[in-house]
Amino acid sequence: MVAELELLSQHGCFGGVQRFYRHASREIGLPMRFAVYLPPQARIDAAGGKVPALLYLAGLTCTEETFVIKAGAQRLAAELGLALIAPDTSPRGANLPGESDHWDFGLAAGFYLDATEAPWSSHYRMESYLIHELLGLVTEALPIDAQRLGIFGHSMGGHGALTLALRHPGVFQSLSAFAPICAPVDCPWGQKAFTGYLGTDRSTWHTHDASRLMAAQTRPPFPGGILIDQGLDDKFLADQLLPAAFDRACATVRQPLRLRQHPGYDHGYYFIASFIADHLAHHAQQLVR
> What is residue 105's predicted lDDT score, i.e. its pLDDT?
41
The helix/strand/coil state of 93 is: coil
Q: Per the residue annotation, which of 90, 155, 174, 211 is the catalytic one?
A: 155
Q: For residues 271 and 231, give the distance between their C-alpha atoms in angstroms, rounded to a whole number.
A: 7
Each residue's pLDDT tens digit in the chain (289 positions)?
Answer: 454 899 999 999 999 999 999 999 999 999 999 999 999 999 755 555 899 999 999 999 899 999 999 999 999 999 999 999 999 999 998 887 655 554 444 445 789 999 999 999 999 999 999 999 999 999 999 999 999 999 999 999 999 999 999 999 999 999 999 999 999 999 999 999 999 999 999 999 999 999 999 999 999 999 999 999 999 999 999 999 999 999 999 999 999 999 999 999 999 999 999 999 999 999 999 999 8
Residue 101 designated active-site: no
Q: Per the residue annotation, which of 267, 279, 282, 283 is the catalytic one?
A: 267
pTM, full prediction: 0.96
- Positive or negative torsion for Cα 232, 211, 204, 174: positive
Residue 229 designated active-site: no
> What is residue 264's predicted lDDT score, i.e. its pLDDT?
98
Q: For residues 254 and 221, give the distance between their C-alpha atoms in angstroms, rounded to a whole number.
A: 10
The helix/strand/coil state of 31 is: strand
Residue (of 55, 243, 71) closest to 153 by Cα position:
55
Residue 211 designated active-site: no
Q: For residues 224 and 203, give the distance between their C-alpha atoms in angstroms, rounded to a whole number.
A: 31
Eight-class DSSP state of 131 = I
Beta bridge partners of 150: 54, 174
Residue (of 280, 287, 286, 1) closest to 134 by Cα position:
1
Q: Per the residue annotation, which of 159, 234, 279, 283 is the catalytic one?
A: 234
Residue type, 17: V
